[in-house]
A = this chain, B = another copy of it.
Amino acid sequence: MPQDSLEASPSPRKRTRAGAPRRATVPQILNAAEWTFGTRGLKGTRLEDIAKVCDIPKGNILYYFGSKEDLYNATLSRLLDVWLTDADHWLSSDKDPLDGLRGYIEAKIAFSRARPEGSRLFAQEVLSGGHMVQDFLRGELRAHVARHVAIFLEWQAKGIMAPIDPTHLLFLLWSGTQAYADMQVQYEAVLDRTPLTDGDYETAVTTLMTLVRPLFSQPASGALEADENKTLKRSL
């Protein structure tokens, strides 16, 4: 029940069996809120818009959540919960690096495709200064980064990964994958396709993998095709 943590629930004292409408409505509101906040921002969103999507009177939203800002926070926190856990387990020091990275990249791209509004919501928030997610950024996210950086460093210590700044590499993986949600309309306009196709998202993964692969190559398989006749052993 991650989303309940921030919810201003009006005294759920006695374990009432009522609240059937509540259990149905609250997640519905959160979904609609994620969509609307993600595309229109906090200020750009009217509670009535969310209400209309849910087909409920706008007052009800303020009944379930105390205020517009509270709803915004609840929506954000539900999102952040999914986020990290989703891609976190892909990278570990014992797995094959390239397999792990491919899984990570595919997971991030899949998220951008499946829940673009979520990605956009977070982007909107960070873009606007990220005041609502300061704790998250300085806490959970920093820990998440530290874990992944440690893995990269381990690989580099073992000599199986090229010397590249681990943190900035992560930044590039984030931005490259999330942009397929955040900059979606830009990409659609450039590619002249709405929506983007399966093939487009596959190409996205392939392109990222092509850039990442040489970091692990002995020496550089895949950079140029049809070229397997080269020195395959490295100095280590």
Contact = CB atoms under 8 A, between A and B. Distances in A.
A186 interface: yes
Contacts of A186: 126, 130, 137, 141
A191 interface: yes
Interface stretch (A57-65, A78-86, A226-234): A226-234
Nearest to A131: B185
A223 B214 contact: yes
Interface stretch (A17-25, A26-34, A199-207): A199-207
A135 to B, nearest CB: 10
A39 interface: yes
A172 to B, nearest CB: 5
Contacts of A41: 41, 43-44, 124, 128
A210 to B, nearest CB: 5
7 closest Cβ pairs, A-B complex: A220-B220, A137-B189, A175-B179, A214-B214, A43-B44, A168-B207, A43-B43
Contacts of A212: 211
- What copy number does this chain have within its complex? 2
B224 A163 contact: yes
Interface of A: 39-44, 120, 123-124, 126-130, 134, 137-138, 141-142, 145, 162-165, 167-169, 171-172, 174-176, 178-180, 182-183, 185-187, 189-192, 203-204, 206-208, 210-212, 214-215, 217, 219-220, 223-227, 230-231, 234-235
Contact of A176 (B176, B185, B231): B176
Given A43-B44, A190-B142, A223 B215 contact: yes
Contact of A124 (B124, B137, B141, B226): B124
A207 B203 CA distance: 22
A92 to B, nearest CB: 20
Given A127-B182, A214-B223, A172 B230 contact: no
A51 B4 CA distance: 41
Nearest to A123: B127
A148 B220 CA distance: 25
